[in-house]
Structure 1
Amino acid sequence: MSGDGDLMALYSQRILALAAGIPRAERLESPDVTVRRRAPLCGSTVTVDLVLDGDTIRDYGQDVKACALGQAAASVLGAVVIGRNRAEIARAHDQLLAMLKEGGPVPDAPFDGFEVLLPARDYKNRHASIMLALGATREALDTAAKQAAG
């Protein structure tokens, strides 16, 4: 990071507020599927639990051990994840990754809250942490689909 101003912009009040108030930050008692992911570079981890109705998320729990950016991403996801299906999560994942790595647009609604992470585009070492919650959720849905297919 090039200076204190950059650091302050990256960890804006909005990001810190999201990080402090992560929705659905409790593990589920009887999930249909659980996935834990770790970002090797920084050591951040996220565990997600899903209760599903087909490929639609009916309940969601998460345990987030990440930097403020990873926590903010988990917060954005936790606020909108209920009722989303596998295709919507996959699209949001791909759009967030493109936003960070390729300068793509903010993900479509209801995932447009990821806009708060636009300042992190230039901080490639933070991208893995930002992608953890969405990546774990996508992996959990893929795992459940494979299990259902037998």
Structure 2
Amino acid sequence: MTTALYNRDILRLAASIPHHRRLERPQGSVEKRSPTCGSRVAIDVVLDGEGRLAGLGQEVRACALGQAAASLMGASALGRNGAELAEARDALAAFLDGKRDDPGEWPGLDIFGPARPYSARHPSILLAFEAVAEAAALAGARR
């Protein structure tokens, strides 16, 4: 069972997290921690004049699943607005919980299908998406 969760593709993503550094002057920052496994992410964002993500920094201390999720989030987050980030978070959560059959429009999230039966893994997978949506909302509220 572990093989299905921690396969070559998950490990490849975990080793290639984009924007893997904190921003010097973020407009919004959020740190999230999974109480289940101790995985942790810190996300910094900068929004452009239209409220779209123009800058992203992340520090990820998580299991391979959490790292892979941060990699997928970081690869497609720039240019998205807060509503799109929240929609991706909500779709992924519903997919993991079995409330929807697909993970939504965000590229690559179907890789987490094998983790659906393992609810203890869900918080780590969701961390980066929760944090970026919250950081964007915080940055938007400060504008």
TM-score exceeds 0.5: yes
Query: Please, what TM-score do these two structures have when normalized by structure 2?
Result: 0.94
Matches of 1:80 and 1:67, distance apart in 2: 21
Question: Which structure has more helix as a fraction of its residues?
Answer: 1
1:107 to partner: Cα distance: 3.1
Q: Give the corresponding residue for 1:3.
A: none
Q: Give the corresponding residue for 1:88.
A: 84
Q: Deviations over 1:31-70 (max 9, x none)?
A: 1111101111111110001011142100101000000000
Give the structure, 1 or 2, with the largest relative contact order (CA under 8 Å, sep 6 or more): 2
What SS is found at the alignment partner of 1:29?
Answer: coil
Query: Please, what TM-score do these two structures have when normalized by structure 1?
Result: 0.90
- Give unpaired runs (5+ residues) of structure 2: none
Task: Please say if 1:34 is aligned against 2:34.
Answer: no
Matches of 1:72 and 1:14, distance apart in 2: 9
- Give unpaired runs (5+ residues) of structure 1: 1-5
Q: AA paired with 2:45?
A: L
1:127 to 122, 125, 131: 122
Runs ≥4 residues deviating over 6 A? none
Q: 1:87–1:55: structure 2 CA closer, same or farther, 3 Å change rule?
A: same
1:49 to 35, 44, 47: 44
Task: Please say if 1:64 is aligned against 2:60.
Answer: yes
Task: Please say if 1:101 is aligned against 2:97.
Answer: yes
Determine which structure has more spread, i.e. the larger CA radius of gyration. 1
Mean CA deviation greater in 98-107 or 80-89: 98-107
Matches of 1:7 and 1:118, distance apart in 2: 13
| RMSD, matched Cα | 1.2
8 Å CA contact 2:76–2:107 kept in 1: the answer is no
Matches of 1:100 and 1:107, distance apart in 2: 8
8 Å CA contact 1:106–1:112 kept in 2: the answer is no
8 Å CA contact 1:95–1:105 kept in 2: the answer is no
Matches of 1:106 and 1:76, distance apart in 2: 16
Aligned residues: 142
8 Å CA contact 2:46–2:139 kept in 1: the answer is no
